[in-house]
Amino acid sequence: MEAPQIFHKDPSTFRTAPNLNNYEDTRKSFSWDDVADKEIAFFPDGKLNAAYIAVDRHLNTDLASKVALYWEGDNGEKEIFTYRDIAHRSNQFGNLLKKKGVRRGDRVFIFLPRVPLLYISFLGTLKIGAIAGTLFSAFQEQALFDRLENSGAKILVTNKDLSTRIEKIRGKLPNLSDVLVVDDPNFSAQLTSQENSLEIEHMEKDDYAFMLYTSGTTGKPKGVVHKHYAILSQHLTAKFVLDIHKDDIYWCTADPGWVTGISYEILGSWSSGATQVVYSGRFDTEKWYQILQDYKVSIWYTAPTAIRMLMAKGEEVVKRFSLSNLRHILSVGEPLNPEAIRWGLKAFGLPFHDTWWQTETGCMVLVNFPCTDIKIGSMGRPFLGIDAEIVDDNGNPLPTGTEGNIALIPGWPSMMQTIWNNEEKYKSYFVNGWYISGDRGWKDADGYFWFVGRADDVIKTSGERVGPFEVESALVEHPAVVEAGVIGKPDEVRGEIIKAFIVLKPNVTPSDLLKEELSQHVKKHLAGHAYPREIEFIDKLPKTRSGKIMRRILKAKEMGMPIGDTSTLEEY
C-alpha cells in the first residue's frame, strides 16, 4: 500500500469557523442523551415530534420568516417558502389527512417527483403521528405494488402523471383507501381550505416516523423503519458534518425517494436552520453550475456518479461560473475515488468530503468533518457517539489493517428501529452484538476507515441500491426468459451497471432486438433506473446444488477473475 495523500486542514484558512472544532476531544465525552435537551426540542411532557423539531420549533425564532426552501422545477418554475410557510402548509396537510381518516401509525406513502408538496406532505404525515413512506418517481407498477402491499399503506400522495401507474395495481391493494392527486384542482381546493394550525402529536422517542424500502441480496425489498428520536442524529450530523450555519445556502442533490433526501433534505437540514435549494430537474452539467451560482450555494452534498459526470465535462465549464460562495462540499452513496477529490480541488478549490452510511443507519456514520484532515480515498472516521469496527463473520474485532466486515454498535438515535413486518430479517443484521453493515473495509492506525466492497450481491448503480433478485424476477416475467442471473458490473461513471445473464426458452432466437426488449421490459414494469444496461444470453446459470444462482461466479467470469471455491456448485 502506498501512503495515502493527505489533505491537511489549516484552521487559519477556514472561511467559517466549523460547528465542530475538535473531533477527538468532543468524541471522548460525548453522549447522545447529554446533548438531546440542548440540540432538539421536547414538549413539556417529555415527548417529541421530528417534524416539529425540523420546522415548527423555529417559529419562535428569527428563522420563522427566513427562506426554508428555494424550489426550482424542470422548466425553470420557481417558488420560495419560508419556515412559516412550510409549517403552515404541512399543518394543512396534516388536517386534511385527519379528515381522510388517517390515524397514528397509519402509513401514508408519497410518490412524487421533487415538488414542494413532497416535502410538505412528508412533514404533515409525521405531525399527525402517521408513518411516512417515500417512493422514488422512477418506480413502476411492480416496485410500487411490493412496497404498498407490504406496508399496508392507507393513503398514496401522487400526481396525475404518476397516478396512472397505480391504476393497474389499485384493485390488488385493499388497504389503500385514498389516492390524493396533488395537481388536481379539487385536491388543491381541499388542501387550502384546511386550518393552518394543527395539534401536533406528541410521540415517544421510539414511535415510528418514516419508512423506506431498500434492497438486499435476496427477496423483495425490506421496509426499514425509523423513529422520531432519529431526528437527534440527523440534526447533529447536519450541524457537525454538513456544517450548516444559519446563513448558509445548502443544496442536496438527492431524491427523498432515498434516505439521503429524507435525512438531509427534510429533517436534519431544516432542523439545523438551513435555507435549502431543491432542483427537481434532471442532471445537466451547466444547469447544476448555474444552480450553484444563482442561489449562491455555500454547502453542497452530492454523489460520486454526479461528480464523475461533471468531471467528464472538464474544469473549463466550471470556470465559466462564479461559485465563490461555495465553501464546503460533500459526497455520499458509493466509493468516492481519489481522482474525484483531486478534481474537486482543481475545479472548486475545495476537497469533497466523503461520508458513508446506509438507509438502515438513518444518519451519516463514517465521515470527514470540516475540521479534520482528509486521507484521500478514505471514508473518514465514526461520527460522535457511534462506535465502528472491522469484525470477522462471527463478530470478533479484527486487527488494524485487516479487511473484514464494517460493523457498528447499535444504539445511536437514528439506527433503524425494525424491518416492517419482518423481525427475523431485522435480527439477521446482528452478530455478537454488532450491526453488520454488509460492506467490507479496513481501518488504519489513525482510525480512518477504507472501503473495499459489498459483502453481498447488492448492486450500486449511480449510487442507487438495487437488489439483483428484483431485477431477475422482473426478467423472468418476460415470456422469452427461462431464468436470469443479475450482477453489478464495474463502470467508470456509474460505479456499477446492471448486467443480466439470461437463459432463453429453447425456441427463442437471441438477438440485439430481444436484448433491447428485455431491458425495456424491466424499465416499464420494475423501475426506470433498475434495468440491465447489458445483457448476455447464456446456456445455463451457475447454481448451487440446492438451486441457488451463484452470482459471484457470474461476476468472477465477467471480470476474468478466478472463480474461487466451487465445491458447493452443481455440475457446471
**Beta pairing partners, 276:** 69, 250
The residue among 447 and 510 lying less far from ligand WT7, judged by its C-beta, is: 447
Question: Which listed range, 85-93, 96-104, 196-204, 352-360, lies at the site for ligand WT7 (CB under 6 A)?
Answer: 352-360
Of 116 and 257, CB closest to ligand WT7: 257
Residue pair 316/287 in contact (Cβ under 8 Å)? The answer is no
- Nearest approach, Cβ of 418 to ligand WT7 (angstroms)? 16
User: Is 465 one of the binding residues for ligand WT7 (CB under 6 A)?
Assistant: yes
Site for ligand WT7 in 81-120 (CB under 6 A): none
Q: How many CB atoms lie within 10 A of CB 371?
A: 18
CA dihedral 259, 30, 447, 326 (to 10 degrees): 50
Q: Give me the least distance between CB of 512 and ligand WT7, in Å please.
A: 32
Is residue 354 part of the contact set for ligand WT7 (CB under 6 A)?
A: yes
Q: Grid coordinates standing for 273?
A: 436552520
Q: Closest Cα partner for 481 from 503, 450, 507, 456? A: 503
Residue 359 within binding range of ligand WT7, rule CB under 6 A: yes
Q: Is 460 in the site for ligand WT7 (CB under 6 A)?
A: yes
Task: Say if CB 134 and CB 262 are below 8 A apart.
Answer: yes
Give me the sheet containing 418-419, strands edge to edge: 178-181, 155-158, 107-110, 131-134, 208-214, 222-227, 418-419
C-alpha span between 38 and 187 (Å, rounded): 40
Nearer to ligand WT7, 181 or 307 (CB): 307
Q: In angstroms, what is the minimal distance from the CB of 365 to ligand WT7? A: 9
**CA proximity to 311, closest of 338, 290, 271:** 338
**Per-residue contact string for residues 176-215; x = within reach of ligand WT7 by CB under 6 A:** --------------------------------------x-
Binder among 116, 124, 261, 333 for ligand WT7 (CB under 6 A): 333
- Cell numbers found for residue 155: 393513503
Choose between 118 and 379: whose C-beta lies nearer to ligand WT7. Answer: 379
Cβ distance to ligand WT7 smaller for residue 11 or 453: 453
Residues 248-287 that bind ligand WT7 (CB under 6 A): 258-260
362-391 residues in contact with ligand WT7 (CB under 6 A) are: 379
> Could you give the CA distance from residue 307 to residue 311 in angstroms, rounded to a whole number?
6
Q: Give whichever of 82 and 233 is closer to ligand WT7, judged by the CB atom.
A: 233
Question: Which has the closest alpha carbon to 487: 458, 463, 524?
Answer: 458
* CB neighbours of residue 142 within 10 Å: 20
Under rule CB under 6 A, residue 457 binds ligand WT7? no
Q: Using CB under 6 A, which residues numbered 420 to 439 contact ligand WT7?
A: 437-439
CA distance 510 to 157: 42
In the 8-state DSSP scheme, what is residue 278?
E
Tell me which stretch binds ligand WT7 (CB under 6 A): 12-20, 327-335, 468-476, 557-565.
327-335
The partner residues of 331 in beta bridges, in order of sequence, read 302, 354
Q: How far is the CB of 445 from ligand WT7 (least distance, A)?
A: 20
CA distance 398 to 392: 6
Residue among 395 and 438 whose Cβ is closer to ligand WT7: 438
335 forms part of the interface with ligand WT7 (CB under 6 A): yes
Each residue of 181-213: b (16+ CB within 10 Å) or e? Answer: bbeeeebeeebeebeeebebbbbebebbbbbbb
Count, residues near ligand WT7 per rule CB under 6 A: 23
Of the candidate residues 334, 389, 457, 470, the single one contacting ligand WT7 (CB under 6 A): 334
For 308, other C-beta atoms within 10 Å of its C-beta total: 21
Q: Which residues form the interface with ligand WT7 (CB under 6 A)?
A: 214, 258-260, 332-336, 354-359, 379, 437-439, 451, 454, 460, 465
